[in-house]
Amino acid sequence: MTRREFLSWCEFYRLFPFDDHHRFHRPAVLIAQTLGGGDQQKKLDWLQPDPRNDGLSDADMNTLKAFGYKARAR
């Protein structure tokens, strides 16, 4: 792949992301919102939990933070 083609794909992805969040999770939330109402962000969080603190409580995260752990940016 040439550099020009790579940059073209980067621009395409910036305009039209094709990850699971955009292809599957957001449309599912929009359908659920239409049918049942409620908080969209809570539905998105349920469909795609934050991987930075998977299975860790706030106390766990505070302990890790005290030891210098920095969560990955989303």
Residue-range domain boundaries for the chain: 3-66
Least confident of 6-15, 16-25, 44-53, 61-70: 44-53
What does the chain come to in residues?
A: 74
How confident is the model over 26-47, as pLDDT tens digits? 788 888 887 877 777 877 777 7
- The letter for the amino acid at 65 is K
Res 33: pLDDT: 80
Q: What pLDDT score was predicted for residue 21?
A: 76
**pLDDT for res 62:** 79
Nearest to 44 by CA among 25, 31, 24, 57: 25
- Give the predicted TM-score (pTM) of the model: 0.38
64: helix, coil or strand? Answer: helix
**For residue 12, what are its two tokens?**
């395409």
Residue 53 contacts residue 45 (beta carbons within 8 Å): no
